[in-house]
Amino acid sequence: MNEFFKYRSHFIFWMLLFAVAWSYNYPEILSKGPYSIHQWRQADCLSITQNFYVEDRPFLEPAIHWVGEADGRTVSECPIIYYSVAKLWRWFGKEYWMFRLINILLVFLGLWSLFRLTLRVTLSPFWSVALPLFLFSSPILAYYTNNFMADAPAFGLALTAGYLAYLGVVDRKRWAYYLAFLVFLAAGLIKVSALILFIALGMLHGKYAVRGRLHRELTRWSAWWPYVVVGCGLIMWYGYANRYNEANVSWIFLTGLFPIWDLDGEAIRSIWWDLTHTLLPAYFIRQGLWLCGILFGILLWNYKKGQRFWLQLTLLISAGLVGFVLLFYQAFTVHDYYLTNLLIIIPVLLLAVLDMGKAHFRLLLKNKWVRGFAVLVVTLLIYKTALTNRMKYDAEDPWLQYNFVIADSRIQHWRWFHYDYQQHEKAYETIKPYLRSLGINREDRVLSYSDLSINISLYLMDQKGFSSFGFGAFSLDEKMAKYKQYGVQYVIVDEASDDPETIAPYLGEKIGDYQNLGIYEFRL
My answer on whether 385 and 403 are in the same domain is no
Claim to verify: residue 90 and residue 117 sit in the same structural domain:
yes
Would you list the DSSP string of 145-174? HTSS-SHHHHHHHHHHHHHHHHHHHHS--H
- Which long-range contacts link 114-119 to residues 24+ away (Cβ below 8 Å)? 114/159, 114/162, 114/163, 114/347, 115/10, 115/13, 116/163, 117/162, 117/163, 117/166, 117/351, 118/347, 118/351, 118/354, 119/1, 119/6, 119/9
372-422 pLDDT tens trace: 999 999 999 999 999 999 999 999 999 998 888 898 999 999 999 999 999
Same domain, 340 and 464: no
Q: Could you tell me the pLDDT band of residue 130, with boundaries at 50, 70 and 90?
A: very high
Confidence of residue 2 (pLDDT cuts 50, 70, 90): low
How many folded domains does the chain comprise?
3
Which secondary-structure segment (H or E) carries 68? none
**Residue 63 sits in the same domain as residue 148:** yes
Domain check: are 301 and 412 in the same one?
no
pLDDT at residue 446, rounded to an integer: 97
CA distance 64 to 507: 26
Pair 205, 286 in one domain: yes
pLDDT at position 352 is 95
346 and 407 part of one domain:
no
Domain match, 479 and 359 both: no
CB 388 within 8 A of CB 286: no
Q: What is the pTM of this model?
A: 0.95
pLDDT for the residue 25? 97
CB 259: neighbour CB atoms within 10 A? 12
pLDDT of residue 210: 77
Residues with Cβ < 8 Å from 484, sequence gap 6 or more?
522, 524
pLDDT in tens, 478-506: 999 999 999 999 999 999 999 999 999 99
> Given pLDDT bands bounded at 50, 70 and 90, which one contains residue 361?
confident
The mean pLDDT of the chain is: 93
- Residue 57: closest CA among 248, 229, 239: 248
Residue 62: in which H helix or E strand, if any?
Answer: none
- pLDDT confidence of residue 4: 57
Shortest CA distance to 389 belongs to which of 76, 8, 91, 20?
20
Task: Give the pLDDT of residue 326.
Answer: 93
pLDDT of residue 221: 74
Does 247 share its domain with 332? yes
Q: Do 131 and 243 sit in the same domain of this protein?
A: yes
The yes-or-no verdict on residue 255 having pLDDT over 80 is no
- pLDDT value for 265: 87
Residue 52 · residue 62 · CB < 8 Å: yes
Give the pLDDT band (50/70/90) at residue 6: low
Domain of 419 in residue numbering reads as 394-424
pLDDT at 56 over 60: yes
Claim to verify: residue 344 and residue 398 sit in the same structural domain: no
> Of the ranges 70-74, 87-91, 303-307, 459-463, which one carries the lowest mean pLDDT score?
303-307
Mean pLDDT throughout 99-108? Answer: 98
Which strand (E) or helix (H) includes residue 81?
helix 80-92
Domain boundary among 391, 412, 438: 391
- Span 190-197, average pLDDT: 95
Give the pLDDT confidence of 272-320 residue by residue, as tens digits: 999 998 899 999 999 999 999 999 999 999 887 778 899 999 999 999 9
Are 66 and 448 spatial neighbours (Cβ–Cβ below 8 Å)?
Answer: no
Q: Read off the pLDDT band of 362 (50, 70, 90).
A: confident
- Judgement on whether residues 377 and 444 belong to the same structural domain of the protein: no
Tens digits of residue pLDDT in 173-184? 999 999 999 999
How many alpha carbons lie under 13 Å from residue 164 in its C-beta half-sphere?
A: 20
pLDDT of residue 414: 95
